[in-house]
Chain A
Amino acid sequence: MAKKHLIIGSGIAALSATRMIRKVNTDDEIKMVTMEDCLPYSPAVLPYLISKRIDENNISLADENFFEKMGCSIEKAREVVHLRTDTKEIVYRDGERDSYDTLLIASGSEPMKPPIQGLEEVGFIGCHTLADCRNIIQKLENKKKVTLYGAGLVSLEIAAALLEAGYGVDIIARSRILRRYFEEEPAKIISGILRYHGAEFYNGKEIIEVNRENGSIKMELSDGSLLASDLLICCLGVKPRIGFLVDTNIKVNDGVLVDRNMRTNVPDVYAAGDVVESTDYFFNQLGINAIAPNAITQGRIAGANMAGENVADRGWISMNVFKFFGHTTFSIGLPGTEGFYTLRKRGPEDFKELVFKDDKLVGARFIDIEIDPGVFRYLIEGAIDVEQKEMLFDRPREVSLWLMMENERGTRIK
């Protein structure tokens, strides 16, 4: 009998799940519900809207054709406020209900709001939705200086976009930049490049209080110093959007808890993407990894299981790429802390680091070195034996490709 799959959210995880459900099963009904009033888009594209590298008309991840081809209906601008897992129903804000046979929670994430005194009056501005982005673009008109609170990837992407457009940019980091992806030394290379292009950094500081004076925003930092700027954008990371799950029996911690099959504790309810809290690849530790590659993998796995297959994830790995001003950075896996065999080299303008546990690669970081990030991801995810560690370190691009090719053929010469 044909089932009805309901998907809350329309991001990358939701779309991957849709593709997978349709691949496994051609008869089932698929319905997507999103609170956005536009076609699906990825938050990753928003900084490029600010830098005007792309037009707002071109950011949709899927067009009407996609939904027609997939036989999937999409309901826009509907917010889900509650789930009734006993009767298998979702409840919309207007009180209407919708039933499901299997449900995928892919509601994504929302920006974290910092506890700053006076922020309500000045107005919180994040950069996570298209509406946020439109707001920023509108507010940027006739402004000169922007302050970014937070120094994660999104913040730096916006910084690069703004610097390119000729704005002055101050970046306030509570600890330091890209803490999740780089250690202090390589992070300094990145901040050095941004500084060269005009950014100012305030590391290890927090904003205590903000207020508006004569059109500009005055900020008091934790060390007592004062800063002024025309616009304050907060990019302090994201947290899973799980507000609507409060009074349900679905287990949540910081995010929706799932097993490696993307199942929640309630039968027929799955979750994937930024909303999920799941175990990682290396240590089986719970955590949130709100990145696009993760959303695709989890979406595919959830979709397959919803359609009746039985597949499991390997667990998430932290990774990302950051490209700015023609520079490229890439980080994946574990940092080179004690207990690992780490090869590290800092050149005048570049950096490379490989982290091994026994013969397996468990982490890699590169700045301005030509490599294929996906191939390193392949080596780590596939737990490929690497005996030629120094060779891989010397010529990372060629040797990583060779290891990948040998492994793909299954005839690895050891």
Chain B
Amino acid sequence: MGYDVLERRENICPPGCSLCEEACSKRTAKMDSPVIRHINVPEVGYHGVVTCTQCGEPECMEICPSRAILKNADDGVVRIDEDRCVGCGMCTLACPYGGLTYSVERRKTIKCDMCGGDPACVKACPYGAIDLLQSKKIKGYLSNQDFLSPGTRACPGCAAELSYRSTLKLLGTYKDVIVFGCPGCMTILMNGFGTMPGSRATYVSCLFTNVFSSMTGVYRYYRHKGRKVKLVAFVGDGCVSDVSFQTLSGAAERGENIVTVCYDNEGYQNTGNQRSSTTPQGARTYTSPVGITRKGKQQNSKDVPLIMVSHNIPYVATATIAYQEDYLKKLTKAMNVENGTSYIHLLAPCPPGWGTSGDSAIEISRLSVETNYFPLWECEDGKLRFTYEPPVQKPVKEFIKLQGRFSHFREKEIEELQQSVNSRFKHIKALSTLG
């Protein structure tokens, strides 16, 4: 289950552009009114597009006096049966989102039918303002079961929790998986709380310092016994970049066949937001406060995924939960690696630690990619390539303005961070061209 939907992003179309409308009117052999329409309000600097959102409970369907509008249960598309439509226009009164177009020529209502799953407007837009979100594909990666226990003990809006949930759903499609964890935010979802287990995954709780050496031991035990198991560590940036870095580096160098997913919330968030080596320069944490002499963290952050690339391991990737299909693709690739260590670095915004609102984790994850703060790439057998490149790079200001940990930033600091983002991106870009 799960339906594909059109995603529309605002304010990235150039003014006056109507490529989507033109493509839409050519969707059938005879020219027709477009059912996607652009809205251009230059006075307020707004430019976007509207079309049907394929609602779950379409009111247009309920109001139609001739039952001409039906939602298809298989693909989720709301379609108008032209032979039944009498052209009364009641549906246009029911739809609050401007999703229906009344065609005066035909005296019928017409609407988007997603071009049978391959929308013409998506192909026509070079700016990425319209995108086809293929949730059907995403669901295809996942098990139907939710492996986390009911209720969550994570903070409201936690991106790591969401990532862990979908990670387990994907791991649920594999046989003989053992999850490894260590002290950190996700401990409460892994160990459980009181007498309640955290999840239905087989789970080994390690010390902060020895996750990957423990995994090595367990892996070799099963290898000795002749059993094939998949070992997956879901650990935080404190473990990976600081405390257990040595054991990870060692395991990678030895080529242990283990998978590591690092949920990077850029600090020791579980213990109250202390700085870690992935905390960005200038960010406020409990141990890098903002005062008269010091303004946040003084040092630059460690680029762990690139360090892992330098280990020459078979698979390294970056991911965020905002690009879920991308992440699941990458995790599947990592799970299928047979000849060594694989590593995924997953940015997981932390609402309490980063000083953001509880509903913003996905938006911030998306902005981290769109500003090139956290580019999405993968390095397979030494070949680095971008898995998603934003069509237009947004200024990093967009990313930091939503976060309290950067609230002391003035023009100078923003400019410095922008420079650092640009130079890091240039570096990765250069690596991607090596082929």
A12 CB–B CB distance under 8 Å: yes
Asked if residues A42 and B65 are in contact (CB atoms below 8 Å), the reply is yes
B62 and A372 within 8 A (CB): no
**Complex formed: what's the CA distance from A23 to B62 in Å?**
15
In whole angstroms, how far apart are the Cα atoms of A3 and B66 in the complex? 32
Beta-carbon contact of A372 and B87 below 8 Å? no
Question: Interface readout for B51-86 with A: 1 if CB under 8 Å, 0 if not?
Answer: 000000101001101110000000000000001101
Chain A residues with Cβ below 8 Å from B18 are none
Contacts of A409 in B (CB 8 A): 10
CB 8 Å contact bits of B31-42 with A (1 = contact, 0 = none): 000000001110
User: In the complex the two chains form, is B39's CB within 8 Å of A398's CB?
Assistant: yes
Choose one: A62, A321, A372, A398; the contact of B90 (CB below 8 Å). Answer: A321
Whether B87 contacts A374 by the Cβ 8 Å rule is no
Chain A neighbourhood of B59, CB < 8 A: 293, 296
- Are the C-beta atoms of A391 and B43 separated by less than 8 Å? yes
CB distance from B357 to the nearest CB of A (A): 11
Which of B93-101, B162-170, B391-399 faces chain A? B93-101
Is the CB–CB distance between A377 and B88 below 8 Å?
no
| B243 part of interface (Cβ distance < 8 Å) | no
Closest to B67 in A: A61
Q: A45-B86, A328-B104, A405-B48 are in contact. Are A374 and B65 (CB under 8 A)?
A: no
- Give A38-60 interface residues, CB cut-off 8 Å to B: 41-45, 48, 53-54, 58-60
Q: Quick check: is A301 within 8 A (CB to CB) of the other chain? A: no
B50 at the interface (CB under 8 A from A): yes
Is the pair B90, A44 in contact by a Cβ cutoff of 8 Å?
Answer: yes
- Interface contact B90-A388, CB-CB below 8 Å: no
Instruction: Name B92's closest neighbour in chain A (CB-CB).
Output: A373
Query: In whole angstroms, what is the CA distance A156 to B92 when docked?
Result: 19
**Contact between A373 and B93, CB atoms less than 8 A apart:** yes
Given contacts A45-B65, A54-B84, A61-B67, contact A398 B41 (CB under 8 A): yes
- Known contacts A12-B62, A293-B63, A398-B40; A405/B50 CB under 8 A: yes
Cα A405 to Cα B53 in complex, Å, equals: 12
Q: Is the CB of B67 within 8 A of A375?
A: no
B66 and A59 contact, CB distance less than 8 A: yes
The answer to whether B41 touches A292 (Cβ under 8 A) is: no
A150-182 Cβ-contact flags toward B at 8 Å (1 or 0): 000000010000000000000000000000000
Q: Which A residues are CB-close (under 8 A) to B90? A: 44, 292-293, 321
- Name the distance in Å between B399's Cβ and chain A's nearest Cβ: 16
Minimal beta-carbon separation of A302 from chain B (angstroms): 14
- Residue numbers in A under 8 Å from B105 (CB-CB): 326
Interface residue? B425 (CB, 8 A): no
**Distance from A398 Cβ to chain B, minimum over Cβ atoms (Å):** 5
Q: Give the distance in Å from the alpha carbon of A61 to the alpha carbon of B89 in the complex.
A: 16
Contact status A319-B44, CB under 8 Å:
no
Task: Contacts A48-B86, A398-B39, A405-B39 given; indicate if A377 touches B44 (C-beta within 8 A).
Answer: no
Closest to A16 in B: B62
Considering only CB atoms, which chain B residue lies closest to A330 in the complex?
B93
Residues B97 and A404 in contact, CB atoms below 8 Å apart: yes
Residue of A nearest to B50 (CB): A401
Q: Which of A372, A400, A402, A413 lies in contact with B95, CB distance below 8 A?
A: A372
Give the chain B neighbours of A54 by CB distance below 8 A: 66, 84, 86
Q: Which of A246-267 contact B (CB under 8 A)?
A: none
Tell me which residues across on chain A come within 8 A of B66, comparing CB atoms: 42, 45, 48, 54, 58-59
- Tell which of A48, A59, A157, A374 touches B98, judged by Cβ atoms closer than 8 Å: A374
Contacts of A15 in B (CB 8 A): 62
Q: Is the CB of A58 within 8 A of B39?
A: no
**B343-362 to A contact mask, C-beta < 8 Å, 1/0:** 00000000000000000000
Among A19, A44, A45, A374, point to the contact of B97 (Cβ < 8 A).
Answer: A374
B107 touches A375 (CB 8 A): no
Q: Please tell me if the beta carbons of B43 and A44 are within 8 angstroms of each other in the complex.
A: no
Is A323 located at the chain interface by the 8 A CB criterion? Answer: yes
A378 located at the interface, meaning its Cβ lies under 8 Å from any Cβ of chain B in the complex: yes
Would you call B323 an interface residue if the criterion is a C-beta within 8 Å of the partner chain's C-beta atoms? no
Nearest chain B CB to A288 CB, angstrom units = 19
Cβ contact within 8 Å between B63 and A12: yes
Of the candidates B50, B87, B93, the one whose C-beta lies within 8 Å of that of A377 is B93
Shortest beta-carbon distance from A400 to chain B in Å: 8
Q: State the Cβ distance, A385 to closest chain B Cβ, in Å.
A: 14
**B127: interface (CB < 8 Å):** no
**A292 and B86 contact, CB distance less than 8 A:** no
Q: Which residues of B contact A245 (CB under 8 A)?
A: none
Is B102 in contact with chain A by the CB < 8 A criterion?
Answer: yes
Chain B residues with CB under 8 A of A374: 92-98, 100
Which 7 A-B pairs have CB atoms at the shortest separation, nearest pair first?
A42-B65, A378-B96, A45-B65, A48-B86, A372-B98, A44-B65, A374-B95
Known: A45-B65, A321-B90, A374-B95. 19 other contacts (CB 8 A): A15-B62, A23-B57, A45-B66, A54-B84, A58-B67, A59-B66, A293-B63, A296-B59, A296-B62, A326-B104, A326-B105, A328-B89, A372-B98, A374-B100, A378-B96, A395-B41, A402-B44, A402-B48, A408-B97
Residues of A within 8 A of B (CB): 12, 15-16, 19, 23, 41-45, 48, 53-54, 58-63, 157, 292-293, 296, 319-323, 326, 328, 330, 372-375, 377-378, 388, 391, 395, 398-402, 404-406, 408-409, 413
Tell me the B residues contacting A by CB distance below 8 Å: 10, 39-41, 43-44, 46, 48, 50, 57, 59, 62-63, 65-67, 83-84, 86-90, 92-98, 100, 102, 104-105, 107
13 contacts between A and B (CB under 8 A): A45-B66, A48-B86, A54-B84, A293-B63, A296-B63, A319-B93, A321-B88, A321-B92, A328-B104, A372-B92, A372-B98, A374-B93, A388-B44
